[in-house]
Structure 1
Amino acid sequence: MTEALWSAGEAIAATGGTGPGGWNAHGVSIDSRSVLVGDLFVALAGPNFDGHDFVAEALAKGAAAAVVHRQPNDLPADAPLLLVGDSLEALRALARASRSRTAARVCGVTGSSGKTSTKEALRACLSPQGKTFASAGSLNNHWGVPLSLARLPKNADYAVFEMGMSNAGEIAELTELVRPDVAVITTIGLAHIEFFDSQEGIADAKSEIFQGMSPQGTAVLPRDDRFYDRLAARAEAAGLTKLLSFGRHAQSSSRLVDADLYETCSAVKAELRGKPLDFCLAQPGAHWVTNALAVLTAVSALGADPVSAAAELARLQPVSGRGARRKLTLPGGRAALLIDESYNANPDSVKAALAVLARCKPEGAGRRIAVLGDMLELGGQGPAFHAALSEAVTAADIDLVFLCGPLMAHLGRALPPSRVAALSADSKTLAPLVADALLPGDVLLVKGSLGSRMREVIAALDALAPGSDGDSEADAPSDQPTAPRAANGG
């Protein structure tokens, strides 16, 4: 039996709660639907569900104990309950205690695009060099980060945590918990611009990650980003003296010398902190080359071997919903290649995905097809940002576009009518139109913000192709759909 993640005594000491001892937990869960035997179930209360209503279910499934801030109904008097003042605060207290006791080198990742992919690449690159833990899926918000920290194994050598935000001040709260030794900012883009006056505000919000770091920490920054100087100044103002950077810029700590971009991979020539390093990257696209440089820079800053890490990049698998590919075999023998980018979207990531599609070669008489859903949280500039995608669509030589949502209607009006196959108000209506239009040899990209529900299109295609190589439910990202029944829906 492995060492317990949390004993009753450790959890009581961390949270200041009260309750019976004698139990040991080997995991932490906030969702009764996915609770495992031996988990500590934390009953969070949210706008849609209250986890206290599911404590009995969690215990019946084998949870070792439950953290509660009120007595649930219909439980025996001797139920293993840890009573606290507030369950979410107790989860944060577990996170703080976990961070304080670990000897792991800790990396925090934030940015407007590429956070989850960079985090997963760090997991893959560090795992052969030591026991590595990374947050699951996109658990990067006010409950996801403390949950991930509370799950950190005691004997981890490396730990990687993703931190996201929609508003200013949110990353400041998260970095106070994570206290990263190394902080990576992938890029400053337009995601969540609806909630900020400018991109400068986004850069400042991402820079909050430095507030949780000690002066011995290292900031890893995008040197080609137009906000680099602003980010560097914020890092220095937070007391950091170790600043590393990545990009094509001549002064980058990790400098891209050249890259050959292919349909399914890239060959990269770089200089990593003054030393030449050539490597293969099993992910296509210029944006992934940049991500890879960020990863290798962070690996070096964490004290691991970047040369060994570079070898892992040749085996790197795409994150589900963020570039995963599979062949679809539809009725009538129609076979098409699906590129699943359905998890999320912003102007920069859509342009990057279209550039990847441009390098794909359809078979026979096949076509390049883009299925695009609304990019959300762009505020009043949303219509203009959508219309501006017409240049990227044209540059990528896309044959047909299927558009979903009122914002994508602006792109439809900016494109020649012959290129727009359909415009629908929602993804459920659009999905069968896409499926019916596919021809043998087509290459199909599906992308949109999470709220656009472009996964409905993926599911519709899978429903038509029961013998295909993938399954949308099995391949779905494991982050937001497993949100707590307490806080983020059922």
Structure 2
Amino acid sequence: MLIDHRLSNVSKIGNCNLVGKDAFFKKVSIDTRSISKGDIFLALSGPNYDGHDFIDEALEKGASCIITEKTIPSATHIKTDNCFLFLEKLANFQRSNFKKIIISITGSNGKTSTKEILYQLTRELFENKDEVFKSPGNWNNRLGLYLSLLRLDNSHKLAIFEIGTNAIGEIKELASFLKPNIGVITNIGNSHLEGLKNINGVLEEKTDLFSYVSSSGTCLIRAKEDHLVKAKKKIKKRKKIFLRPKDSSSFDQNLEMAEAVISCLPEEINKKFFLSEKNISDLEIKAVVPGRQELLIGKNKVNIVDDTYNANPESFKAAFKKIESISCKNKICVMGKMNELGENSLILQDEIIKEALNLFDLVLAINLDSKINAKNLKIINPKAIFKNLEIYLNEESVILFKASRSVKMDDIVKLFL
């Protein structure tokens, strides 16, 4: 049995006292912007914020209780020494009491997209589609995992979680907490190299997931042969499915991985699986993730590929595959910085610029430090983007926008919609 949605039950799990009247609650929230009447507000604090500053706002919006490190006169609350550790206790209770199938997905690219495809496909395998749960958005760090676990309820029969990393030890921490039945690594590539050092560091970190898959579970990975040899050491005697890297679109590769995962589910579930051409076409629409190779129609019917959520060399190459599949007279790439690539960042950046120059009629590099000299390359500041793109704003053009999140390329895309 998962958490009974009563305040007294929550306080008991956290080993703290409830001050005020017992009541039912809807969900636990850490953000007053999305809080609803009857929710618990957890006053988390971080390096740049203190949730206690928003307690009054939470109460005004109808919070039924505050989990706090401070005493609150005249308000129902649960006082704890550490709000984050309190959240961890709740999440651990949820995981310990969830006895159904858990799937955990990581990888250098395609985590969220694979999760979305798998979610859409598995929903069709249950009588009630709501029996399948997925972690929201990209909630793939420790906080995101804990909050995701709190959203599980007794109706769920399958739960899909995404976990991420940018430093050594993070996958171990998340996977050991989640203990999945099925572990999925979408691929191994040059990502988060500041923390993981090199491709071998990425491989070592990502494959830590397999060490915490249940002994009767299955491990799936798409990787080169030499990487598979190393992965086997952590897979040990668990069942395994190996997929080789392919020169195909991101969608096709993510779909192939999702199908492989479904083959690992119990027969009474996966025997219902059938995928027609129409299903695939519908899936390409349903499983679209905002900011991840999202095809949009902009001003003057210009075609836009919004891939602004994040960037690394492998995801750039995947985006180029997407552009190759689009028939347009003019192809333009607006690219920005790729973060967390470590000491070889400029080398990796220039490799991507060179690939882009072979595909695109024009490459606009925003504030990039590069010595590459080419007729179809312009290094510009953000203010010059519209001026350089104005003549291409028509239905005969496709424009790819891509950069790491910190560049805020998504705000630039909005100018052309």
Q: Give the TM-score normalised by structure 1.
A: 0.77
Which of residues 275, 280, 287 in structure 2 aligns to 1:310?
A: 275
Which of residues 449, 466, 469 in structure 1 aligns to 2:404?
A: 449
CA distance in 2, matches of 1:5, 1:188: 40
| Closer/same/farther in 2, CA of residues 69 and 309 from structure 1, 3 Å limit | farther
**CA-to-aligned-CA distance 1:192-222 (integer Å, 9 cap, x gap):** 0122232111111112223433212211111
Equivalent runs, 1:145-224 vs 2, <5 Å: 145-224=145-224
Equivalent runs, 1:77-476 vs 2, <5 Å: 77=74, 79-130=75-126, 131-224=131-224, 226-236=226-236, 240-247=237-244, 286-303=249-266, 304-305=269-270, 308=273, 310-311=275-276, 312-316=279-283, 317=285, 318-329=288-299, 334-362=300-328, 366-396=329-359, 398-406=360-368, 409-410=369-370, 413-414=371-372, 416=374, 418-420=375-377, 422-425=378-381, 427=382, 429-440=383-394, 441-462=396-417
CA distance in 2, matches of 1:180, 1:434: 49
| Residues 43, 52 of structure 2: 8 Å contact kept | yes
| Residues 5, 25 of structure 1: 8 Å contact kept | no
| Closer/same/farther in 2, CA of residues 188 and 309 from structure 1, 3 Å limit | farther
Identity, % of aligned positions: 28
Equivalent runs, 1:51-66 vs 2, <5 Å: 51-66=51-66
Query: Quick one: which amino acid aligns to residue 293 of structure 2?
Result: G
Structure 2 residue ranges without an equivalent (≥5): none
* Equivalenced residues, count: 403
| Residues 141, 165 of structure 1: 8 Å contact kept | yes
Query: Quick one: which amino acid aligns to residue 302 of structure 1?
Result: L
CA distance in 1, matches of 2:242, 2:39: 40
After TM superposition, the structure 1 stretch with the greater mean CA deviation from structure 2, 201-210 or 184-193, is 201-210
SS in 1 for 2:200: helix
Match status 1:13 vs 2:12: yes
Structure 1 residue ranges without an equivalent (≥5): 249-255, 260-284, 463-490
- The structure whose RCO (Cα within 8 Å, separation 6+) is larger is 1
Q: Give the TM-score normalised by structure 2.
A: 0.90
| Closer/same/farther in 2, CA of residues 227 and 415 from structure 1, 3 Å limit | farther
User: In the alignment, which residue of structure 2 is the partner of 1:484?
Assistant: none
| Closer/same/farther in 2, CA of residues 460 and 23 from structure 1, 3 Å limit | same
